[in-house]
Amino acid sequence: MHGFALNDIFKIGIGPSSSHTMGPMHAAQHFMSNLEQTLGNGSLKVSVTLHGSLAATGDGHGTPGAVTAGLVGHHYETVTLPDIESIWDTATATGVMRSLSGHEIHFNPSHDLLRDMEPLASHPNGMTFRAWAGDALIDEKQYFSVGGGMVEDQMGHALATSPLPVGDAPFPYKSMEELVRWCDQEKLSIAQLQARNEHFCLKREEYDPIAAKLWAVMSDCIDRGLSTEGQLPGGLNVKRRASTLWNRLLNNSHGDKAPANAAQRAMVYAMAVNEENAAGGRLVTAPTNGAAGIVPAVLRAHLDEHKLNEAGVNRHVSTFLRTATAIGGLFKMNASISGAEVGCQGEVGAAASMAAAGLTAAMGGSPRQIENAAEIAVEHCLGLTCDPIGGLVQVPCIERNGMGAVKAIAASDLALAGDGQFMISLDQVIDTVRETGKDMDSRYKETARGGLAIHGLKIPVTAVEC
Ligand code: SF4
């Protein structure tokens, strides 16, 4: 594995969960699309077994509807909540669905969607898909939802939005040290090198369509979160606060376009995104749904502060997101971005590190200053546990994204004030995330069996849906 692409780390999808909603939908869609290509016009009967954490999540957490929509051929990037509800109603009422490519699929969630509370050996989030033509079992495959919407098959190969194949990237790297060495040798910024690894030559003035598309979805999500009030679903009775907080900032600044300071704005932007996530809204994984608020919040706060023309905005967005991609890829390669594996240090910690790096790059920092910012941000998230109340990605997750955004801005400020010399490297801190995650008791890794999850218990715990 020699680096990740922009679309691997940042994926347009839906809430509330990258591992429990987006990943299972992608796995189901992949299983069926492979079968349909070889099937001709015949009909199929399908069963799906959810293992471990996915089984424990239950009907209320989105996995069954996501899998059913995936079997029909929907993808998380384009599916809507009404799509999922309509397919679910048809499947449960008739047991027969018509796929987007016209095949008849026999699947009734009430008896063809099975739950096995025991996790498979490879990962806590496993799935087994089986298909029959008549009485003959014609296919059986296992998939694993490994975090951030990424899915691996039983051979450990990533699906579709996959890491670049070994040898494919012109400047392969597996560590920050290798990445900085390439930048020095080729006289490229981290963002430019990241783009070239995707065979995309990013010149200073060039429009970056992939980054621009991601930013449009991120930005919409912030705006929706800032303008929506009410209560979040799930039974905790959590009230949305981003809208009220934003209006408070606006009033304090007498209606200025960019009220208060960047950290205050970023905190509210991050909470707006994570309230949208909790409500099942459209968003971009960054690198997961649970930690999706930090990167867009810091980027929006940065753009607020700089009066850029359209080309300038595009350039800063591209530089920010492509730099953040490189850092997120290092976490994925050398530790984890899954709360089930290493706790929240791999989600909010990784996101804060990515945002600090992106901001430092957009501010013109050197590769070593970017590394320093990324290292500071995650260093102060080490040991961060995952213990949300009720297993819902609401408390403490929404505020935690706000705090992560503030931390990212502070880390970038510290790094930009320095000379790129520092004691602990980013590679060392990422290794520490991995080792700390290994030592962390399972009660603090997306099981909702310890910490805040039990002290603040208000509704029955199932499993975390980050
Ligand atoms: S506490 Fe857990 S569920 Fe919440 S954001 Fe962190 S990793 Fe995700």
Condensed to tens digits (0 to 9), the pLDDT of residues 326-346 reads 999 999 999 999 888 899 999
pLDDT surpassing 80 at residue 256: no
Whether 52 is in a domain gets the answer yes
Other CB atoms within 10 Å distance of the CB of residue 115:
17
Q: How far is the CA of 464 from the centre of ligand 1 (A)?
A: 8
Whether 139 is in a domain gets the answer yes
Please report the pLDDT score of residue 284 as a whole number: 97
Average pLDDT for 256-281: 89
Considering the domain architecture, whether residues 348 and 224 belong to the same structural domain is answered as yes
Considering the domain architecture, whether residues 225 and 182 belong to the same structural domain is answered as yes
Whether 346 lines ligand 1, by a CB cut-off of 6 Å, is: no
Whether 169 is in a domain gets the answer no
Which of these, 413, 443, 273, 280, lies nearest to 351 by C-alpha position?
273
Average pLDDT for 216-236: 95
Query: What's the residue count for the chain?
Result: 466
Dihedral (C-alpha) 185, 188, 194, 199: value to the nearest 10 degrees?
-90
Hey, which bits of 178-315 come out as E strands? Answer: 282-284
Average pLDDT for 7-33: 91
Whether 381 lines ligand 1, by a CB cut-off of 6 Å, is: no
**Of 69-78, 120-129, 383-392, which has the strongest mean pLDDT?**
69-78
Q: How far is the CA of 388 from the centre of ligand 1 (A)?
A: 6
DSSP 133: E
Alpha helices in 282-366 (DSSP H): 294-305, 310-334, 339-342, 348-362
pLDDT surpassing 60 at residue 271: yes
Considering the domain architecture, whether residues 388 and 241 belong to the same structural domain is answered as yes
Please report the pLDDT score of residue 458 as a whole number: 55
Q: Which domain holds residue 78?
A: 17-153
**Secondary structure class of 27 (helix, strand, coil):** helix
Considering the domain architecture, whether residues 249 and 310 belong to the same structural domain is answered as yes
Q: Which of 20, 389, 400 has the most ligand 1 atoms within 8 A of CB, as the residue to mutate?
A: 400
Average pLDDT for 342-355: 97
Contacts of 389 (CB under 8 A, 6+ apart): 236, 395, 396, 448, 452, 453, 456, 457, 458
Whether 286 lines ligand 1, by a CB cut-off of 6 Å, is: no
Considering the domain architecture, whether residues 400 and 444 belong to the same structural domain is answered as yes
**Are the C-beta atoms of residues 452 and 395 closer than 8 Å to each other?**
yes
Considering the domain architecture, whether residues 147 and 189 belong to the same structural domain is answered as no
How far lies 222's CA from each of 92, 218, 266, 320, in Å? 35, 6, 10, 17
CATH number, residue 132: 3.30.1330.90
Considering the domain architecture, whether residues 236 and 107 belong to the same structural domain is answered as no
- Residue 41's pLDDT band (boundaries 50, 70, 90)? confident
Lowest-confidence range among 337-351, 365-379, 436-450? Answer: 436-450
Whether 344 lines ligand 1, by a CB cut-off of 6 Å, is: yes
pLDDT surpassing 70 at residue 459: no
Position in ligand 1 atom list of the atom nearest CA 465: 3
Q: Which of 294, 347, 449 has the most ligand 1 atoms within 8 A of CB, as the residue to mutate?
A: 347
Percent with pLDDT over 70 in the chain: 91
Whether 165 is in a domain gets the answer no
Considering the domain architecture, whether residues 139 and 180 belong to the same structural domain is answered as no
Whether 125 is in a domain gets the answer yes
The overall longest dimension of the chain from CA atoms, in Å, is 71
360 is written with which tokens? 């430092």
CATH number, residue 331: 1.10.4100
Condensed to tens digits (0 to 9), the pLDDT of residues 362-371 reads 999 999 999 9
Please report the pLDDT score of residue 204 as a whole number: 53
Which residue lies with its CA nearest to atom 6 of ligand 1?
344
Whether 26 is in a domain gets the answer yes
Q: How far is the CA of 229 from the centre of ligand 1 (A)?
A: 23
Assess whether the previous peptide bond of 287 is cis (omega < 30° from 0). Answer: yes
426 is written with which tokens? 């980013």
Average pLDDT for 307-331: 95
Which of these, 26, 13, 37, 24, lies nearest to 101 by C-alpha position?
37
Whether 453 lines ligand 1, by a CB cut-off of 6 Å, is: no
- What is the number of domains present in the chain? 2
Considering the domain architecture, whether residues 427 and 328 belong to the same structural domain is answered as yes
Please report the pLDDT score of residue 142 as a whole number: 96
**Are the C-beta atoms of residues 337 and 328 closer than 8 Å to each other?**
yes
Considering the domain architecture, whether residues 337 and 421 belong to the same structural domain is answered as yes
